[in-house]
Each structure stands twice: as C-alpha cells, then as structure tokens.
C-alpha cells in the first residue's frame, strides 16, 4: 500500500518572536521540519508534501530534500492547509499521514505504529492521542464512551466521535485528559472527499482539520484513536521555553543512545551532542563537551572537558583536551590540546601531536609530527616526523593573497621561526631558532637567518645610571 505524508509548516510562530520561521528553529542542531522529514523517510513514505506559508522562500532554501512544497497564502486553519496538498494526492489510493511541522520529538516507530494501526483497522481516519495531566491548550478527544475517565465496562474507549478545540470546549469537555496531538492517518480518498465538507463554524472562523471527524461520523465512517505511550513525543513547540524543553528531552535521548552503544558520558546533563553525531564504543566524554553537526568520532577516543567539535572526524584512540575542532579530519592516536584550535580544512595524520595554544588552518599535518606549543601553521603541508618549535609562524598572508608553506619529512623548525610563504623547507633540514626564512631551504640543510649577536660589557650599568 502506498503511503503519503502532509507536513503542516505554514504557521508564523508568533510566540517565538523570531525572524526565523518556527519550523526552522533547530533542536539539537537540526531544524524541526528536517527532523520530521528524516523520520518520514525512515518509514518509507512514498511522497512528502510540505505546506508552507510564512517566509516560504526561507524554508525552500533550507530544506534540500526531495519533497513537494505547496503554499498556503492565507492562514485559514489546518483543514485549509491540508487542502493545498490535494492536487498532489488526487486519485491516489493509499494512506496519508498528516503531521504538524513543530513536533520534532515524534519517533519514527510511533509514526509507523500509527500507520499500521490505521491500515489494519476499519477506520477511515485515525488520530494519534496522548494523555496530558494538564490538557490546557489542547483539543480534547471525545470517544464513544466519553473519555478516559469514563471507560466502557469492557475497558475499551471506543472510536473517536469528535475532537473539540480548547476555545470551543465546554466545562465538562475541558476535564478530558486525552488530547489531540495533531497527527493523523487517513484513507487518502476519504480524506480528499471529506475536506471540502468542513465548515468554519467556530470561534476562530477557521477550517479545522479536527472537524473531519464529525464529517466522517455523519457519513457512517469509523474514526479511530491510537494512544501514544510517551506524551513528550507529541510536544508541539510554540515558544522559546518549549524549544528549550524539547532540546532537553532530545539531548537526553541522544546521550542515552550513545551510552547504550558503549560510550561513556561522565555527566550526560552537562554534555551536548547533536542528533547527527556518530560515536564509536569505549569513547569517554567529559563534562562540558559540545559535539555538533556531522561529526564522526571513532572508538576509544577521550574528549576532555570544555572541548568543541563540529563537522569533524576523530580517529580511534585520539585524545582531545580543551580544544576547538571544526570541519577537519583527525587521525588515530593523535593528541590535541589543551587549548588548541583546529580550523576548517585541516587534516592531522596518525600519531601527531598538536599542543597548547597551537592553531592549524587549512593544513595537512603529517604522521608523527609535533607542534607542542604556541604556533600558527596555516595553509601548509607538513610532512611526517616534523618538529615545529615553540613560537613558529607560517607567514601566509600579504594583505591580499594567501600563500602555501611546505615543510618536508623529518625537518626540525627551531623556536620563534618565521616561515615567509610561499616557501619550501626541504626534507630533513633544520631551521635555526629565531630565523626568518624567505627562500626555499634545500634538503638536509641548516638555515640560519638572524643578526649576529654582539655583547657590550658594562653597558647595562651605564643605561641604568641614565634613568
């Protein structure tokens, strides 16, 4: 059976007080809307239609997936939004899932279970419901046998016969704690037939998708309800506070997943790992660590406190101490930090050492090479077994262009050396401390470039006496 999905993502999100469309606000590094698309793809949805409205172009620019965008130019309610997707689903047989774009915590297993429950029932529509001890703000589920507080004698609630929005609910209906999550499964043709029959007879004068329940009931069609076990999954995000709450819930799940896979996280509540990060077993992560983007961390890695890693690959058994690594590749058995800065387009080979207050940018740093402290190596190619002395600088920028420095295998660069790019330091050569190198250095050569030292005895006393 074919499966389709309609994501409702046209709302303004007024309470977010943001220039960014609500559905593009990230939760653990990924936009809310992207979370939902990713999960729909995992359950093999054949076609995804996204209904957009507020700042539609921004959403189109951000979401690069193979989805169909349709615009709701007027905000006339959820049924009106779904109606915009009809041209792309007309005459198609199958099941259509309708989901709001601000529910990033929903799990693909839940969506798949909802679909299976619907497909194997006699219902033409099924709503995903949850229990909320404080149901204020939610639409209430009206069952055949009233509500969860009034079960039928066979302990079944019966089919759904209505969904009443908070603003339209009476006193008794507001006591119901089973609520609408805004997620539905429909027989596609029944959905398309029912949408035009929905009226806007409510306080908001809007066309509510929830009113399709009454349409179905009047036509003798059953409408089911599938109760969600974890109400947090259906949490809708409408404010910055709720965004923060969703971050906390998702971060806990992410950390739990990694720990279940053999990662030691010393303090999960003080460790931030985004949703797309991959981590190998026996890695140890200390408090205050931030790991973002499409980062891949191998096995047996140790990441000490207050390190930040983004869109990087870290090889097995490497050690990171209080350092920042962005858009770079780090090999195996590498030691970085403390307080190193690995900037984009850097590749550090196996067993290399990059120490405190060393900055690498756009550089290949060879196997077993060392820069233990206080150096800047930019736009460079450093060979294997190279030693970079304290205070070494690759002078790569003339105010307009960047130039490349090449340091070949086995070279030794003394402290406080300035390498004026473009320049090549030959294999197994030595650059004396304090040198400013402006010309290529031959292989196996010693280069000294500094003024001759002159000692003037007794001058120190004369200078002091002048003060």
What residues are designated binding site for Mg(2+)? 102, 238
Asked if 350 and 364 touch (Cβ cutoff 8 Å), the reply is no
Per-residue pLDDT of 265-322, as tens digits, reads 999 999 999 999 999 999 999 999 999 999 999 999 999 999 999 999 999 999 999 9
Token pair 């819930």 in the structure block, residue: 249
Q: Which residues of the chain have pLDDT under 70?
A: 146-157, 467
- Among candidate residues 438, 382, 378, 377, the one with its CA nearest the CA of residue 411: 382
Per-residue pLDDT of 99-158, as tens digits, reads 999 999 999 999 999 999 999 999 999 999 999 888 988 899 999 875 555 443 434 568
CA pair distance 452, 28, nearest whole angstrom? 58
Question: Which domains does the chain possess?
Answer: 3-234 (3.90.550.10), 244-447 (2.160.10.10)
CA pair distance 345, 362, nearest whole angstrom? 4
Confidence at residue 37, expressed as pLDDT on a 0 to 100 scale: 98
* Residues in contact with 132: Cβ distance below 8 Å, sequence separation at least 6, in sequence order: 138, 177, 179, 231
CA pair distance 157, 78, nearest whole angstrom? 26
N- to C-terminal Cα separation, the chain: 95
Antiparallel, parallel or unpaired: β 178-187 and 125-131: antiparallel
What residues are designated binding site for UDP-N-acetyl-alpha-D-glucosamine? 8-11, 22, 72, 77-78, 139, 165, 180, 238, 343, 361, 376, 387
Confidence at residue 368, expressed as pLDDT on a 0 to 100 scale: 99
Alpha carbon of 297 to those of 278, 282, 320: distances in Å? 6, 11, 11
Tokens of 46: 């054949």
Return the axis-axis angle of helices 108-119 and 32-42, rounded to nearest 10°: 50
- H-helix or E-strand spanning residue 179: strand 178-187
Alpha carbon of 47 to those of 68, 213, 258, 319: distances in Å? 8, 24, 31, 44
Catalytic residue among 35, 118, 341, 373: 373
88 annotated active-site: no
CA pair distance 383, 364, nearest whole angstrom? 8
Q: Is the whole-model pTM more than 0.85?
A: yes
Tokens of 366: 């060879």
Cα atoms found within 13 Å of the Cα of residue 26, Cβ hemisphere only: 10
CA pair distance 145, 130, nearest whole angstrom? 17
Cα atoms found within 13 Å of the Cα of residue 79, Cβ hemisphere only: 21
Confidence at residue 35, expressed as pLDDT on a 0 to 100 scale: 98
- Residue 338, preceding bond cis, omega within 30 degrees? yes
What residues are designated binding site for acetyl-CoA? 396-397, 433, 450
What residues are designated binding site? 8-11, 22, 72, 77-78, 102, 139, 165, 180, 238, 343, 361, 376, 387, 396-397, 433, 450
CA pair distance 60, 424, nearest whole angstrom? 47
């Amino acid at each position: 059976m074919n499966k389709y999905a309609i994501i409702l993502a046209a709302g303004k999100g007024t309470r977010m007080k943001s220039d960014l469309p609500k559905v593009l606000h990230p939760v653990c590094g990924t936009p809310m809307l992207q979370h939902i698309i990713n999960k729909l793809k995992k359950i093999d949805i054949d076609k995804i239609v996204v209904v957009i409205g507020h700042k539609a172009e921004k959403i189109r620019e951000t979401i690069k997936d193979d989805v169909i965008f349709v615009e709701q130019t007027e905000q006339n309610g959820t049924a009106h939004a779904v109606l915009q997707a009809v041209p792309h689903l007309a005459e198609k047989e199958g099941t259509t899932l309708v989901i709001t774009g601000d529910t990033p915590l929903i799990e693909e297993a839940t969506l798949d279970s909802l679909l299976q429950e619907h497909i194997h029932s006699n219902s033409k529509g099924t709503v995903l419901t949850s229990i909320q001890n404080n149901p204020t703000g939610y639409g209430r589920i009206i069952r055949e046998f009233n509500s969860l507080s009034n079960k039928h004698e066979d302990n079944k609630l019966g089919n759904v016969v209505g969904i009443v929005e908070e603003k339209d609910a009476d006193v008794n209906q507001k006591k119901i704690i089973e609520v609408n999550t805004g997620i539905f499964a429909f027989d596609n043709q029944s959905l398309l037939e029912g949408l035009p029959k929905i009226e806007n007879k409510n306080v908001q004068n809007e066309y509510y998708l929830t009113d399709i329940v009454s349409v179905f009931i009047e036509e003798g069609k059953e409408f089911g309800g599938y109760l969600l076990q974890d109400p947090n999954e259906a949490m809708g995000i409408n404010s910055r506070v709720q965004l923060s709450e969703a971050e906390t819930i998702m971060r806990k799940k992410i950390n739990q997943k990694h720990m279940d896979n053999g990662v030691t996280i010393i303090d999960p509540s003080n460790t931030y790992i985004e949703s797309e990060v991959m981590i190998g077993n026996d890695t140890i992560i200390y408090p205050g660590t931030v790991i973002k983007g499409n980062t891949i961390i191998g096995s047996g890695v140790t990441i000490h406190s207050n390190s930040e890693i983004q869109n990087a690959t870290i090889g097995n058994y490497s050690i990171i101490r209080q350092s920042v690594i962005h858009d770079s590749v780090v090999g195996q058995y590498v030691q970085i930090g403390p307080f190193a800065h690995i900037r984009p387009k850097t590749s550090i080979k196996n067993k290399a050492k990059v120490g405190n207050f060393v900055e690498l940018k756009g550089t290949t740093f060879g196997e077993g090479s060392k820069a233990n402290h206080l150096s800047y190596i930019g736009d460079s190619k450093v060979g294997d077994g190279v030693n970079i002395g304290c205070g070494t600088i690759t002078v790569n920028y003339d105010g307009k262009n960047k130039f490349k420095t090449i340091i070949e295998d086995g070279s030794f660069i003394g402290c406080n050396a300035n390498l004026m790019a473009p320049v090549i330091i030959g294999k197994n050569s030595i650059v004396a401390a304090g040198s400013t190198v402006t010309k290529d250095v031959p292989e196996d050569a010693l280069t000294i470039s500094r003024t001759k030292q002159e000692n003037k005895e007794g001058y120190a006393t004369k200078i002091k006496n002048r003060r």
